[in-house]
A = this chain, B = another copy of it.
């Protein structure tokens, strides 16, 4: 890996194939609703697996699996405490990502709505 250079940010443009694959994996880690829910639930406070299982209304096995994914990519941190495992947000900047996406989505939907309103009494075209 010839990855010296800037400490905190290589622009996407300069990424080689391997690094680009890592970026893709990073996005993939955020591409599951349940994982986003977990991040949401951890926004203000650390929680253990049982609490998350109850909050998210799904199986404990699933929560554990998704927490493992989030941990692997550095989104959350694990702290053992008795027989429990508490997870907390490791890097709050992940919310910047999500909020940025929300903003772009909102604008995308708005422009789509505008386009539909402007051009189409016969909607459905524009494929």
Contacts and interface: CB of A to CB of B under 8 A. Distances in A.
Contacts of A25: 31
Interface in A99-115: 99-108, 110-112
SS class, residues of chain A in contact with chain B: helix
Contacts of A74: 104, 108, 111-112
Contacts of A1: 126
- Of all A-B residue pairs in the complex, the 5 with the closest CB atoms, nearest first, are A28-B31, A74-B108, A9-B103, A12-B98, A27-B31
A26 B108 CA distance: 11
Q: State the oligomeric state as a number of copies.
A: 2
Nearest to A17: B33
A106 B15 CA distance: 12
A104 B110 CA distance: 29
Contacts of A28: 27-28, 31
A103 B92 CA distance: 13
16 contacts: A12-B95, A12-B99, A13-B40, A22-B105, A23-B36, A23-B101, A25-B31, A27-B28, A28-B28, A74-B104, A74-B111, A91-B108, A94-B104, A97-B97, A97-B100, A100-B100
